[in-house]
Structure 1
Amino acid sequence: MKIVEIREKTLPISSPIRNAYIDFSKMTLSLVAVITDVIRDGRPVVGYGFNSNGRYGQGNLMRERFIPRILQADPATLVNDTGTNLDPHKIWNCMFTNEKPGGHGERSVAIGTIDMAVWDAVAKIENKPLFRLLAERYNGGRFDRKVFVYAAGGYYHPGQDLNALKDEMRSYIDRGYTVVKKKIGGASLDEDLRRIDAILSVLGDGRKLAVDANGRFDMDTAIAYAKALSQYDLFWYEEAGDPLDFELQAMLRNYYDKPMATGENLFSMQDARNLIRYGGMRADRDWLQFDCALSYGLVEYLRTLEMLHQHGWSAERCIPHGGHQMSLNIAAGLGLGGNESYPDLFQPFGGFPDGVQVVDGYVTMPDLPGIGFEGKANLYSEMRALSS
């Protein structure tokens, strides 16, 4: 039982869109294949992983540090006590060998991507969907067959007028979503309010709309938007200021009593803990968006969930960023509140296995071994090309 090879490839997920902070015209990600010596149906069991959009491919870090550490380790130190499967926690510890604490920048993305592939392999070796494996190991066997998902869109597209924006949002509702998201902060406040009004003319209910500033605002602008957005009963007001400006986030609660969301750009349990300690987040209404693919993977996410429990937060207040099937499995297996979804963007990495439909805002988890990548034909073709 061992890992025989780890392959990485940087792939483009470019798109002519922008949010309040960046454009995606040159966006990339890393695709990873963890190849084991376990043979099923005449082929090695391979685990796959990739990092979420918004952070670029991490191939250099993987090739220079993290992949060599795994492959140079004694294989016996990377498996469970019975020697029947890989141990993601031991592999994580191996990757983090000789790394100083703090500075949770791009290395958290590199480790998180490999960690995803390891968990995919572990669940496949046990011939179980990952969500079932997680439920059995960490949630008393309880899992949610149906998971809430929302449609992330509303980016600033070149030349998109209000009618086209309404058509975009209408298309999400027509596909079964009950909550959609739009970007703010990439235009003036007045223009953003016109965009919101246009979308609400389609949705008819502010609770069906979330807005996301992508960390763009300073204190005064964040407060100005908070005051303006208070006229709507929105699903949430997301990431108003810099992800590490906990004072700004805490101050906003004085101006905005409706739900807020943040956390997608916090890449460790320690940073997440500081948000809970100092960010003024409210466990009865706010949402946490930590993304395992960007924050050291599921091994670290388990630590984050334990920290939240110790601070009186329910896992149900977590709706991860990223729109990938890894977080979808975590949501189903560990009782999170749902998952982000990209119906049209960042393909083939966004979306669900073929045939999985959104019905009344929920998807039903299929019984596919591992994370379920093999059920999405256009994505699996990219993965097979890497591992073959």
Structure 2
Amino acid sequence: MRILEIREKAVPIKSSISNAYIDFTKMTASIVAIVTDVVKNGKRVIGYGFNSNGRYAPSGILRERFIPRLLEAKPDDYLNEEGTNLDPHKIWDILMTGEKPGGHGERSVAVGTLDMAVWDAVSKIEEKPLYQLLAERYRGEKPDDKVFVYAAGGYYQPGKGYKELQDEMKGYLDLGYSVVKMKIGNSLEEDLRRIEAVLEVVPSGQSLAVDANGRFDMETAISYAKALEPYNLFWYEEAGDPLDYEIQAELAKHYKNPMATGENLFSMQDARNLIRYGGMRPDRDYLQFDCALSYGLVEYMRILDMLKEHGWSPRRCIPHGGHQMSLNIAAGLGLGGNESYPGVFEPFGGFADHIPVENGYVGLPDVPGIGFETKAPLIKLLHSLAE
């Protein structure tokens, strides 16, 4: 078998929403299709991928560096030993040929996008859902049959007051979510009023997480920590710059409740530095590394191995991104859950159309691959690229 073609296109995921750092009015994402010569059930196997929200489409480096490298490789260099399927680990090595370590930038996003398409193709060729393939290959047991998911929302938006924020959060609970998340970071006084408004409509502080998107300096992060602690929230997320491990470590001395960070760390090495120097606590804190932004699942498995060496359970990992790739990883490799964006960043966010969220958990479809075919608006977009 061999790869016949790889296609890429940048598409908009623009929205009027904003967090404490950026707005999303000009946000884009890359979609890719890896076309193989394999035919299953009368259809050519095509693997699809895309990058998560929050990072722009890496079209330039995909087309100039990474896609040509893979297309120029010989099939023996990227196939498994039997020659019957793609080998994601070999492909990762091909993609990173000639790349110096460090300074990840958009490179990690480009590789993560292609890596997603590779795994989609691999599991389609095996005629198994990706979560089943991962559980069999790397976990040696059955995958989880459902995954905890929380609803990420509560963005700043023109004309959005307390009532609209409350209605949004009640809507997530009505959809079956048990935990919701909102943005903070504009001002402590305003954010406390917004938090208290949400706490009027959710069961308790344990049903609410807050996210500062790396906005705070040390003094502000600690001020928020002291004000937030009495609410007993689900977590306090990304208080300071993601690479400022000192802020995160100091914050742990001032905030006893769970914290979360990691969505903007894009390599095993950066993740390891967070664990070494960031003061994260394996008994209560959460790690949010997103494979679609951080060199893909191949690199994510290196992160999981590193975490195990440092005494962390994979159940403390709840990836950022709200997409089906992370959902498959969570079920297949036994993570603690997955983010969700109900009605936001469509058509990329969300899961299978026919499987509802129930009591904070969602099931996975029994279809080969990542399951994009079970999400109608998304597969329509992906098919426009490749078929």
* Same-fold call, TM cutoff 0.5: yes
Match of 2:222 in 1: 223
Q: How far, CA to CA, are the matches of 2:382 and 2:201 in structure 1?
A: 38
1:135 shift after superposition: 0.3
Where does structure 1 differ by over 3 angstroms across 4 or more consecutive aligned residues?
none
Q: Which amino acid aligns with 1:36?
A: T
Match of 1:339 in 2: 338
Match of 1:203 in 2: 202
Question: SS of 2:339's equivalent?
Answer: strand
Match of 2:34 in 1: 34
Question: SS of 2:276's equivalent?
Answer: helix
State yes or no: 1:175 paired with 2:195.
no
Q: Which amino acid aligns with 1:261?
A: A
1:266 shift after superposition: 0.2
Question: SS of 2:357's equivalent?
Answer: coil
Question: With structure 1 as the length reference, what TM-score do the two structures score?
Answer: 0.99
Question: With structure 2 as the length reference, what TM-score do the two structures score?
Answer: 0.99
Match of 1:97 in 2: 97
State yes or no: 1:25 paired with 2:25.
yes
Q: How far, CA to CA, are the matches of 2:63 and 2:141 in structure 1?
A: 37
Q: Is the 8 A contact 1:152 1:182 kept in 2?
A: yes
Q: How far, CA to CA, are the matches of 1:284 and 1:41 in structure 2?
A: 47
Q: How far, CA to CA, are the matches of 1:133 and 1:327 in structure 2?
A: 14
Please give the root-mean-square deviation of Cα atoms over the aligned residues, in Å. 0.6
1:366 shift after superposition: 1.5
Question: SS of 1:230's equivalent?
Answer: helix
Q: Which amino acid aligns with 2:64?
A: E
1:204 shift after superposition: 3.1
Q: Is the 8 A contact 2:242 2:265 kept in 1?
A: yes
* More off after superposition, 23-32 vs 34-43: 34-43
State yes or no: 1:352 paired with 2:351.
yes
Q: How far, CA to CA, are the matches of 1:42 and 1:127 in structure 2?
A: 13
Q: How does 1:38-53 map to 2 (within 5 A)?
A: 38-53=38-53
Q: How far, CA to CA, are the matches of 1:141 and 1:231 in structure 2?
A: 40
Q: Is the 8 A contact 1:132 1:141 kept in 2?
A: no
Match of 1:259 in 2: 258
Q: How does 1:263-342 map to 2 (within 5 A)?
A: 263-342=262-341
Match of 1:4 in 2: 4
Q: Is the 8 A contact 1:180 1:210 kept in 2?
A: yes
Q: How far, CA to CA, are the matches of 1:166 and 1:12 in structure 2?
A: 28
1:216 shift after superposition: 0.3
Note the alpha carbon deviations across 1:138-168, whole angstroms, 9 max, x for none. 0012310110000000000111110010000
Question: SS of 2:370's equivalent?
Answer: coil
Q: Which amino acid aligns with 1:91?
A: I
1:369 shift after superposition: 0.7
Q: Is the 8 A contact 1:240 1:249 kept in 2?
A: yes
Structure 2 runs not aligned, ≥5 long: none
Q: How does 1:75-94 map to 2 (within 5 A)?
A: 75-94=75-94
Q: Is the 8 A contact 2:352 2:364 kept in 1?
A: no
Question: SS of 1:104's equivalent?
Answer: coil
Q: How far, CA to CA, are the matches of 1:208 and 1:104 in structure 2?
A: 35
Q: Is the 8 A contact 1:210 1:236 kept in 2?
A: yes
Structure 1 runs not aligned, ≥5 long: none
1:259 shift after superposition: 0.1
Q: Is the 8 A contact 1:247 1:278 kept in 2?
A: yes
Q: How far, CA to CA, are the matches of 1:364 and 1:115 in structure 2?
A: 23
1:41 shift after superposition: 3.1
Q: Which amino acid aligns with 1:279?
A: G
Q: How far, CA to CA, are the matches of 2:367 and 2:375 in structure 1?
A: 11
* More off after superposition, 140-149 vs 235-244: 140-149
Identity of aligned residues (%): 70
Q: Is the 8 A contact 2:127 2:369 kept in 1?
A: yes
Task: State how many pairs are aligned.
Answer: 387
1:39 shift after superposition: 1.1
